[in-house]
Amino acid sequence: MSLPLPTTSYEKKLDGTLEDTTAIQFVTRNMHGPSTITLSPSTTSYEKKLDDTLGDIICSAICHPECEYTWSKVGTTGTVRTNAILNLGQLTRQEAGSYICTATNPSSSTTRTGPTVVVEVICKSNDLIHSYNIESISF
């Protein structure tokens, strides 16, 4: 890495001599992370009834500059959420599945994935799909 050279500057004193007033300033950018991802709450397996609400799950990592977060659902393409908070709201059958948080350092593009969060949605007994014996139906 090359550092810019400072511009030399002088100030003329009353006695006619020159004084070097060059100031050298270095700015360092400490980029690191993301390190270990943590979830709050730390629970990674949820079993909820249909229409229940799953509380927020917050993903965090030590990262400088601040990490960017995404949540994705395993087995699907695309992103479920583009922030640190997984909020599925009122659960339907479609929310059942496994979710993963990914933290990305925007300066270095370094990524790290967190633990898998499994959401099971239990259907109520009256939501069962009924099957019929076709032989017993008369026309």
The answer to whether 107 and 32 have CB atoms below 8 angstroms apart is no
What span, in angstroms and rounded, lies between the C-alpha atoms of 21 and 11?
A: 6
Half-sphere exposure of 36 (CA within 13 A, CB side): 2
Confirm whether 67 is domain-assigned: yes
pLDDT digits (tens, 9 = 90+) for 50-81: 999 999 999 999 999 999 999 999 999 889 99
Amino acid occupying residue 76: T
Q: Where are the alpha helices (DSSP H) in the chain?
A: none
Confirm whether 78 is domain-assigned: yes
What pLDDT does residue 61 have?
A: 96
Confirm whether 47 is domain-assigned: yes
Range of the domain at 107: 38-124
Res. 27 pLDDT band, cuts 50 70 90? low
pLDDT digits (tens, 9 = 90+) for 81-128: 999 999 999 999 999 999 999 999 999 999 999 999 999 999 865 543
Q: How many domains does the chain have?
A: 1
**The pTM of the whole model exceeds 0.85:** no
Confirm whether 138 is domain-assigned: no
Q: What average pLDDT does this structure show over 130-134?
A: 35
Confirm whether 120 is domain-assigned: yes
Confirm whether 2 is domain-assigned: no
The CATH number of the domain where 64 resides is what? 2.60.40.10
